[in-house]
Amino acid sequence: MIELALNKIEKYYGANKVLEDVTLEVKTRDRLAIIGSNGTGKTTIFKIISGIEEYNGGVMSIRKGATIGYLDQIPEYPEHYKVIDILNLAFQEQFKIKNEMLNLETKMSTANQEDLDRIMKKYGKLQTLFEHLEGYDIEEKVSKICTGLKITDEFKNMYFSNLSGGEKTTVLVGKILLQNPDILLLDEPSNHLDIESVEWLEGYLNDYKGTILIISHDRYFLDRVVNRTAEIEAGTTDMYEGNYSYYFEEKRRRIEAQLQEYENQQKKIKSMEDAIKRFRHWGTIADNGKMFVKARNMQRRIDKMEKLDKPTTEKKAIQLDFDVNDRSGKDVLMLSKIYKSFDDKVLLENIDLHVRYGEKVVILGKNGCGKSTLIKILLSQYEPDKGEVTLGSSLKIGYLDQEVKFEIPEETVLDTFKKSFIMSENRARGILAKFLFYGEDVFKKVSSLSGGERSRLRLCQLMHQDVNLLIFDEPTNHLDIGSREMLEASLLNFEGTIVFVSHDRYFVNKIAERVAEIRDKKIKNYEGNYDYYREKRLGEALKEDKQAKVIVKSKKEIKKKPSVNKGLIEKKIIDLENEIAGVEEILKQTELKMDKYKSKPEKLNELFQQSSQLKQKHDALLDSWMELSSKL
Q: For 58-95, how does the pLDDT look when each residue is reduced to its tens digit (9 = 90+)?
A: 999 999 999 999 976 677 889 999 999 999 999 999 99
The DSSP code sequence of 434-458 is TTT--GGGGGSBGGG--HHHHHHHH
Whole-angstrom distance, CA of residue 269 vs CA of residue 14: 41
Q: Is the pLDDT of residue 221 over 50?
A: yes
- Which letter, b or e, does each residue of 100-134 get, where b requires 16 or more Cβ atoms within 10 Å of its Cβ? ebeebeeeeeeeeeeeeeebeeebeebbeebeeee
| pLDDT tens string 429-469 | 988 888 888 888 899 998 888 877 888 888 888 877 778 89
- The angle that helices 530-543 and 601-629 make with each other, rounded to 10 degrees, is 20
Q: Lowest mean pLDDT: which of 34-48, 208-222, 285-299, 305-319?
A: 305-319
Contacts of 327 (CB under 8 A, 6+ apart): 357, 394, 468, 495, 496
| pLDDT tens string 179-209 | 999 999 999 898 888 888 899 999 999 999 9
Q: Which pLDDT does position 32 carry in this prediction?
A: 97
Mean confidence (pLDDT) of the chain = 86
C-beta of residue 348 within 8 angstroms of C-beta of residue 521: yes
Q: Which pLDDT does position 580 carry in this prediction?
A: 81
Q: Which pLDDT does position 598 carry in this prediction?
A: 61
The DSSP code sequence of 8-53 is EEEEEETTEEEEEEEEEEEETT-EEEEE-STTSSHHHHHHHHTTSS
SS3 519: strand
Whole-angstrom distance, CA of residue 16 vs CA of residue 20: 10
SS3 79: coil
Q: Which pLDDT does position 178 carry in this prediction?
A: 95
C-beta of residue 325 within 8 angstroms of C-beta of residue 495: no
Q: What is the pTM of this model?
A: 0.73
Confidence class of residue 582 from pLDDT cuts 50, 70 and 90? confident
The dihedrals phi and psi of 170, each to the nearest 5 degrees, come to -60, -45
Whole-angstrom distance, CA of residue 239 vs CA of residue 32: 10
Contacts of 141 (CB under 8 A, 6+ apart): 134, 178
Confidence class of residue 599 from pLDDT cuts 50, 70 and 90? low
| pLDDT tens string 297-350 | 999 999 999 898 888 765 555 556 666 667 788 999 999 999 999 988 899 999
| pLDDT tens string 366-389 | 888 899 999 999 999 999 999 999
Q: Which pLDDT does position 554 carry in this prediction?
A: 47
